[in-house]
Structure 1
């Protein structure tokens, strides 16, 4: 575990902090599609992402989901940190987008390391900053962009985090993430196919030139 921690966080964290994370953290290997954290759960540990990708979703009162952002290698979820500090229930759902490795660190360590390690303080503040920017981007996208623009952005980002030009999501799953209907998503995908931007196949979508 320590070698993986060094590869992912060695440039940010002090060696004693790496040692403490290795001693107190628990390594979890998550399969694609598995729910890591759900809405309404109390958060007892902070996830540090060693590799893979996680999508973070919000749910409305009717149970419809909206994709907020992705977490990638070396990142953590600042919403989770806020829940930890406030001892409140999670308001997000985190699902592994790909095969993923995470280290879960006990919540008690967060405040201790804030006082003890500059690398940890900087990491926490940067995480809050990055997630806030991504949330603002999501709000701007919903408020100011057409759904076809949002769909293109979504497909590009999904391809980036999975490192694959094949999108293995159903039209319904994409609709859930974008908080719209499957019929609309299918229509827009067909339009993009006619424009030679992508290819639609039975179980996947191939990005050609988005």
Structure 2
């Protein structure tokens, strides 16, 4: 379920009344590691990537947020008044609803559709994390890299991706040299075509 599938008219009225709509350019950090969550971000357009960052600066991509979705980590941290365990960065220019924390908590008991949305979002993100752990533990780098490129292709709705080797390395949590080497290997297999700061899926 995403937020667009919620049909309760009274709930939709409350969302409209309690929201703050903002535009964020690509690259904006809307939620940082160890910060307190002051609102629930709900993506209306564009996309947001959610990553885990370590003290040495390394990070790994956990999942993307697309229109109609929110960040379950933000919801859980906000509702429990804890600090964020992830960082959320705008991937594509995004329009985001900043939902009130008190209202989001109240809606859990007031509107069954909101509760369903939160629980289904939790299940989806848990499955994403399980897949990510399996990928790191059991898949070779080439399979992980191809999966990431496929994710980006679906996100941008294009086979042609404007992305650097360093960006891919950061999202996979490996070195740029390893990414460049594996990309060359995948290219020789005829699965992609490389050009300057651009990768085309075949």
TM over 0.5: yes
CA deviations 1:101-153 (Å, max 9, x no partner) are 11010111112111111111110111111111111111111111111100000
**Pair 107,13 (structure 1): closer, same or farther in 2 beyond 3 Å:** farther
CA deviations 1:151-182 (Å, max 9, x no partner) are 00000001111112222221011101000000
Number of matched residues? 201
RMSD: 1.3
2:44 aligned to which of 42, 50, 53: 50
1:175 aligned to which of 165, 169, 180: 169
SS of alignment partner, residue 32 of structure 1: coil
1:31 aligned to which of 11, 25, 34: 25
> What is the rounded CA distance, in whole Å, between the counterparts of 1:183 and 1:165 in structure 2?
23
Matches within 5 A, 1:3-14: 9-14=3-8
- Which residue pairs with 2:83 in the alignment? 89
> What is the rounded CA distance, in whole Å, between the counterparts of 2:127 and 2:167 in structure 1?
25
- Which residue pairs with 2:96 in the alignment? 102
- Which residue pairs with 1:136 in the alignment? 130
1:189 aligned to which of 183, 189, 195: 183
* 34-43 vs 9-18, which moves further: 9-18
2:127 corresponds to 1:155: no
1:166 aligned to which of 140, 145, 160: 160
- Which residue pairs with 1:15 in the alignment? 9
> What is the rounded CA distance, in whole Å, between the counterparts of 2:82 and 2:5 in structure 1?
32
Task: Report how far residue 27 of structure 1 moved.
Answer: 0.6
Q: Is the 8 A contact 1:53 1:162 kept in 2?
A: no
> What is the rounded CA distance, in whole Å, between the counterparts of 1:32 and 1:163 in structure 2?
17
SS of alignment partner, residue 30 of structure 2: strand
- Which residue pairs with 1:5 in the alignment? none
Q: Is the 8 A contact 1:39 1:90 kept in 2?
A: yes
* Misfit runs of 4+, over 4 Å: none
SS of alignment partner, residue 139 of structure 1: helix
Q: Is the 8 A contact 1:97 1:162 kept in 2?
A: no
Q: Which runs of 5+ in 1 are unaligned?
A: 1-7
